[in-house]
Amino acid sequence: MKKIHIYEPAMCCSTGVCGPSIDPELLRMSFVMNNLKKTDIEAERFNLTNEPNAFVENEAINQLLMSEGMDALPATFVDGELLCKGKYPTNAQFSQWSGLSEEELVQKPKVRLSLKGDA
């Protein structure tokens, strides 16, 4: 089983809600990761705030942070090999790794729209 692991910096909210705007890159990542999960690929994101332990356990990411600091994040490992750092992988890269087409990767999941008012 292929493993795609992405290590991300600490974000107050990775939705960007607490930032100045919603980040389209983060949104794209949500789509891609969701769609990858439907396949037999192990697709995981590790956020520094919630899962600092993941950054300690993975020696490669730990080393990377020691030498390059925060600029190295986000960093993507495919089957343990660092293939992308300082930015999120492109859809073309994901496609190459997963065998899914770029279209399949960014397909929107079906969810009920706004539930504003009844939360």
Residues that bind another protein (CB under 8 A): 9-27, 30-31, 33-34, 44-45, 47-50, 52-53, 55-56, 62, 65-66, 69-71, 74, 86-88, 108-109, 111-116, 119
> Beta partners for 8?
47
Closer of 23 and 104 to another protein (Cβ): 23
d(CA 17, CA 69): 25
Nearest approach, Cβ of residue 79 and another protein (Å): 20
What is the smallest separation between the CB atom of 115 and another protein, expressed in angstroms? 5
Nearest to 5 by CA among 105, 107, 99, 75: 75
Cβ-based neighbours of 45, under 8 Å, separated by 6 or more: 5, 6, 8, 29, 33
Least distance to another protein, CB of residue 88, Å = 6
